[in-house]
Structure 1
Amino acid sequence: MSSDTPIPVFSQNIHPFDARGVAKRFRHAAIFGALAALQPGETMRFCNDHDPLPLLQQLQGHFGDHIKIDYVSRQPGEIVIDFHVLA
């Protein structure tokens, strides 16, 4: 998935977040802020060029059971993850 390829979205409750277009020094703050802005039942579809394993650990530590993480695509250079916000 190149940076000009749109992130597939099939529901109005899914909000795309393409991290590839965010400066690296701002990425984690932007991701945390975006997730904090979502309501229960909404999903952020995250796209990145690498698997963000340290970020996933940080998100789980911060949000705990309030988010569910599901990989949509885990191909090299094409990482797409759904972050589901739970009640």
Structure 2
Amino acid sequence: MFDIYNIGSLILTLSILYLSANKYHRLLKLERLENAGASPEEYNAYDKRLRLECILLIVIMGTATILSQFTNALTVAVFMIILGIILKIIINKCCPIPK
């Protein structure tokens, strides 16, 4: 049965877990870029891209959580893969890394 509180708590929990893990990963990757002597444009492009990838994963997890209340696991997995590929292509087109 559809339970909005269950869905909300799942999305909130997944978001908090991912945001805390992503913040650490982002800081580590940006620190490596800084130590490697990356240009400010490249540094900002990577930072923006990593933030968008964080939002991408939260959107995928949230929609999959809601979808799992209504369909089977295989449908949810296929949906997550398709949505992930589409949004990754959009991020690659919108935020290219300068050479």
Q: TM-score scaled by structure 1?
A: 0.28
Larger gyration radius, structure 1 or structure 2: 2
More helix as a share of residues = 2
Name whichever structure is richer in strand by fraction. 1
Higher relative contact order (CA 8 A, sep 6+): 2
TM-score by length of 2: 0.26
